[in-house]
Structure 1
Amino acid sequence: MATVAYRKKTQIFKENPIWYKLKQNKLTWVGIVILSLIVLFSLFAPLLTPYSPTKINIAEKFQSPSFHHWFGTDEVGRDIFTRILYGARLSLGFSILVIAVASFIGVVIGTISGYLGSIFDQIIMRIADMVLAFPNLILAMALAAILGPNLQNAMLAVAIVKIPVYIRLARSEALVIKEKLFVKSAETFGISKPRIILRHFIPNAFSPVMIQATLDVGDAILLISTLGFLGLGAQPPAPEWGAMISVGWQYLLTYWWYPTFPGLMLFLSAGALNLIGDGIRDVLDPKSAR
């Protein structure tokens, strides 16, 4: 009986290729576990720590890691463990929001551009090429400096940098899809172009966009944190990881825990998202199967 049950379970997995491939990729599950723990800890931060992420306590400044302060304290006595947990909401949460907005805008513009073609397509693609000609970090720094140093402007700068990637991706899919028979049939029967785009183009662009978005979240975390490190992102006393490292690296030789733990969380988050992105790419993109 046990053998029969096992065979039925295995057959169910094989009949669902997405779940079966994902189950076989152990590194993807490592990324999922790490990211899930970070998200859960940040959501339940008020229950996990009694300290405030911004309240100053000079009497306890530069306390080394201990039972009372797991990751030590900073130069004004704030608990670093608490600031890291609350900082995950900024660094991770806003990075996901940035990529969600960038991918949505990019897919809409890229799909319309690829489907309509003509001069509109040429203008959109030349603008996208101009943006993509600059390195992501350099352009994000320039935009953040122009807009002003705060977290909202840093998010906007990263979104602007990322939008052209999704425009090109959605456009390339649209150029292929618009030649398909079902699109030609829809046009023949007089279905409106907006409905064709919503019904056929955007759903068919989901897989490549999902793969790119998952990988880009890790990059967005690094970009937002880098802008924070350079003073162009989140400003004190916001518990953002890049801003914490920006101050903490000055004390690296004497108070090693200050920049080390925020840097470690940044590394774990970006690494976990890249592992998840690789796994999703292997599942949704047959060409990438190894």
Structure 2
Amino acid sequence: MVSKTVNIRVKKSNPFWYKLKQNKMTLVGIAILLSIVLLSIIVPILSPYEPNKVDLVNKFQAPSASHWFGTDEVGRDIFTRIFYGAILSLGLGILIIFIAALLGTIIGCISGYLGGIVDTIIMRLVDMVLAFPSLILAMSLAAVLGPNIQNAMLAIAIVKVPVYIRLARAEALGLKEKLFVKSAETFGINKALIIMKHIIPNAISPVIIQATLDIGDTILLIATLGFLGLGAQPPTPEWGAMISVGWTYLLTYWWYPVFPGLFLFLAAGALNLIGDGIRDVLDPKSAR
């Protein structure tokens, strides 16, 4: 009886968390992601090694008590580099999606609410970008801009923004016909204020769902560009760049590419599980 009362109180006080924790796979994703984040924060305490310090005497050391994930071709500790790389990969993934979602939501809501020639021009530009596969377009933009992590971020953001423009526009088209928006127009409220106060706040829910699902994909894109030499450049401890060098040693020094690849898989999988759980909570239709 007491536990049932507590559950009712939790459900009323924080319904989002109550619904989210019903999905066991989402909790698994949260646990994995928090573990990676925690390890990346405390890695300076756990490891006595610098991520970029060369130690040729200890190159290609197998996993051991002194080097938990072994060392690379110049003696750098792979465990240390993986968790310094986690800060970079996760941080960049979240930052890129935040920028893309913010810009896409604003542009999409403006396009959907104003309509006419503004909507036509914006949507034709969006169609041009979406006509290309995202990976191919990101690779092309990164190659043109130059191979570094900043240009890789810009390339991925350009690829991701149109998705949010379309999503926000679809919401805005429905919202502008709602009574509360029509009432605001009747009272002569400025269109920019209507967009900021009424359209964007009510269009944000599907954007959040898409953003949580996109973070994992963005981390994979960052790693892919790094693997192809179009993203982070050596000696930056980025997962894709580490795999790019390490895969050539797979048959002889298996730990070099395997451990960065494993944590890339775990991070992307955890984020997708969390995104699925948030989608189920925020979008009741998906749970039916």
Match of 2:3 in 1: 6
Match of 1:22 among 20, 23, 26: 20
Match of 1:64 in 2: 62
Separation in 2, partners of 1:273, 1:227? 19
Separation in 2, partners of 1:240, 1:20? 36
Match of 1:114 among 104, 108, 112: 112
Match of 2:38 in 1: 40
Separation in 1, partners of 2:80, 2:3? 45
**Secondary structure of the structure 2 residue equivalent to 1:44:** helix
Asked if 1 retains the 8 angstrom alpha-carbon contact of 2:105 and 2:204, the reply is: no
Separation in 2, partners of 1:86, 1:39? 10
Match of 1:129 among 111, 127, 130: 127
Deviation at 1:192, TM superposition (A): 1.3
Equivalent residue letter for 1:111: C
Summarize deviations over 1:211-246 as a string: whole Å, max 9, x none.
Answer: 100110000000010000000000000000000000
Separation in 1, partners of 2:141, 2:104? 18
Separation in 2, partners of 1:51, 1:211? 39
Aligned residues: 287
| Residues 1:94 and 2:92 aligned together | yes
Deviation at 1:13, TM superposition (A): 3.7
Match of 2:258 in 1: 260
Summarize deviations over 1:95-133 as a string: whole Å, max 9, x none.
Answer: 110000000000010000101111010000000011011
Equivalent residue letter for 1:8: T
Q: Which ranges in structure 2 are unaligned for 5 or more consecutive residues?
A: none
Match of 1:145 in 2: 143
Separation in 1, partners of 2:125, 2:46? 47
Match of 1:221 in 2: 219
Counterparts in 2 of 1:71-90, with a 5 A limit?
71-90=69-88
Separation in 2, partners of 1:183, 1:213? 26
Deviation at 1:199, TM superposition (A): 1.1
Equivalent residue letter for 2:4: R
Give the structure-2-normalised TM-score: 0.98
Match of 2:231 in 1: 233
Q: Which sits farther off after the overlay, 269-278 or 19-28?
A: 19-28
Separation in 2, partners of 1:281, 1:38? 23
Identity %: 74
Moved segments of 4+, more than 6 Å: none
Give the structure-1-normalised TM-score: 0.97
